[in-house]
Amino acid sequence: MQVEVWSDVVCPWCFIGKRRLETALSRFAHAGEVEVVWRSFQLDPSVPEGATHPTLPALAAKYGRSVEEMRGQMAHVEGIAAEEGLEYHLGEAESGNTLLAHQLLHLAAERGLGGAVKERLLHAYFEEQRSVFDVDSLVELGAEAGLDAEEARAALTDRRYLAAVGEDIATARALGATGVPFFVIDRTYGAAGAQPADVLLQLLERAWADSHPLLTVPAADGCTDDSCAV
């Protein structure tokens, strides 16, 4: 069974959703037969590559709220993240274009390190306040997660995974995704947003049951609901 997750590395709910998916899988009897694939999605592709800006005032301006109101909303999300064992510092975050980060994740997937690099980028951004927007930072983080630094730099320089990122985003739109995280199981079952672990577990169990119908054999002697002949 394949679980595809569309997300962005600067989306606070995506890291929360990742933890909730991991919790659901830890309770799922068939987790060993589940492949998790991380797909690309950009929340704000309009940000110029290489440029960064403080997130807090930018979000306040975008939603027409005061900086203090937005700080309060961030604190609420930080509290939810803490319930999943995450330590966010959203008020200190910088925003930027994540196109390079998604290209690195495609390289990681080809090397069997998709989950490890995804975790490293999310942890670096949300819990360490490190940049995930430039080649040097991404090469360093990728190497920390097991990628070859020279290969990572070459891939980001020649942009060999640019088309693959675009295909992920186009597929998300075709599937009806308007935001992230967006979970899809076997291209049949979907869930939008950072769903609770119990909801994701129910979805996994339903998908498994539907794809593995009960095997039956010809009836043998037995009891009915109201009688048992001997």
Instruction: Look at residue 219 and tell me if it is in a domain.
Output: no
| Residue 178, both tokens | 């308007």
**Which pLDDT score is estimated for 211?**
85
Does residue 148 carry a pLDDT above 50? Answer: yes
Instruction: Look at residue 7 and tell me if it is in a domain.
Output: yes
| Residue 64, both tokens | 């027409």
Torsion angle of alpha carbons 55, 165, 104, 43, nearest 10°? 10
d(CA 187, CA 115): 20
Instruction: Look at residue 10 and tell me if it is in a domain.
Output: yes
Instruction: Look at residue 218 and tell me if it is in a domain.
Output: no
| Residue 27, both tokens | 């309770």
Q: What range does the domain containing 108 cover?
A: 2-211
Provide the pLDDT confidence category of residue 149 given band limits of 50, 70 and 90.
Answer: very high
Could you tell me the pTM of the whole model?
0.91
Q: How many CB atoms lie within 10 A of CB 87?
A: 11
Q: Phi, psi (5° rounding) for residue 28?
A: -95, 125
* CB of 143 closer than 8 Å to CB of 124: no
| Residue 122, both tokens | 């999310």
140-157 burial, b if ≥16 CB within 10 A, otherwise e? bbbbebebeeeebbebbe
In the chain, what's the furthest Cα-to-Cα distance? Answer: 81
Instruction: Look at residue 56 and tell me if it is in a domain.
Output: yes
Instruction: Look at residue 77 and tell me if it is in a domain.
Output: yes
- Please choose, from the candidates 97, 106, 95, 94, the residue with its C-alpha nearest in 3D space to the C-alpha of residue 156: 106
CATH number of the domain that residue 183 is part of: 3.40.30.10
- Please choose, from the candidates 92, 164, 158, 166, the residue with its C-alpha nearest in 3D space to the C-alpha of residue 131: 92
**Which pLDDT score is estimated for 50?**
87
Instruction: Look at residue 207 and tell me if it is in a domain.
Output: yes
Instruction: Look at residue 15 and tell me if it is in a domain.
Output: yes
pLDDT tens digits for range 153-205:
999 999 999 999 999 999 999 999 988 999 999 999 999 999 999 999 999 99
Helix (H) / strand (E) element for 54: namely strand 52-54
* CB of 19 closer than 8 Å to CB of 127: no
d(CA 93, CA 54): 6
Helix (H) / strand (E) element for 122: namely helix 114-128
Count, residues in the chain = 230
Q: Phi, psi (5° rounding) for residue 3?
A: -115, 115
Mean pLDDT of 19-27: 98
Q: How many domains does the chain have?
A: 1
Does residue 224 carry a pLDDT above 70? Answer: no
